[in-house]
Amino acid sequence: MRALVTCLAMGFLGCASPNLYVSARPLGRGLVQHTIALEGLGAVTPSGAAVLPTAPTWQVRVGLGDHVDILWRLVNLSGLGMDVLVSLHQGPVDLAMIPGLRGTYLPFSAGRPGMLSGHLPLLMAVHLADRWTLQATAGGGVATALGDSASAEQTSRALVENAESSSQGFFLRGGLGVRWRVTQGLIVHPEVTVLFTPASGRATIVGGIGVVFGGAAHDG
């Protein structure tokens, strides 16, 4: 049970809100989208399973050109994140790579350390109709604890329990989402992401519904 509570409290490797809520096709230079997402977190460990609601996430997406967008986010009202969307292919099926960083504050931990995580997902989007797009993500990442040495070391050990002499936590990630363009300026985007740590065999599921405003005229 202690391991289960640790996974939930830390958002599993400090990777709160790994969901993307974006299309694989860039917006276009100068266009802006805002996203508000309501989310929940579920953890599965050898000791059991549980579900926990999380604070909302707010995201701003800015188009830099025909192939690149940049995204800033307030992660569950407790951290900051930045992603760069790089378009790899545009057509009936769009592909994009979205490297990103997340920094999360952990006020409940001794010494109040933070968590820093890096993600590298590949996003594939299949356009089913004018208003509907099915999306899938796959990739990986790594997370580590920050803060004073004692608390950071304690947090890192919890993150990589059963890993072999590692100060970082490596995880795999995969997810599914649906993008529904309700109107030209409004999109509803439910998404689910699974994070899995091979070293411990633990998994976390992050589900959410994002409401996207603006920039939808060029949203693939």
Round to whole Å and give the CA distance between 180 and 73: 21
- CATH code, 2-218: 2.40.160
For residue 157, the surrounding DSSP H or E stretch is helix 149-159
The amino acid that residue 171 corresponds to is F
Closest CA to 209 of 27, 22, 25, 36: 36
Could you report the per-residue pLDDT of 57-85, keeping only the tens digit for each?
Answer: 999 999 998 899 999 999 888 889 999 99
Instruction: Give the pLDDT band of residue 155 (cuts 50, 70, 90).
Output: very low
Q: Measured at the alpha carbon of residue 51, what is the angle toward residues 45 and 56, in degrees to the nearest 5?
A: 125
Could you report the per-residue pLDDT of 102-120, keeping only the tens digit for each?
Answer: 887 665 555 546 778 899 9
Provide the token pair at 185: 């300026």
What residue spans define the domains of the chain? 2-218
Q: Where are the beta strands (DSSP E) in the chain?
A: 32-45, 48-53, 57-63, 68-75, 79-89, 93-97, 100-105, 114-127, 132-146, 169-183, 186-197, 202-213
Closest CA to 3 of 210, 202, 214: 202
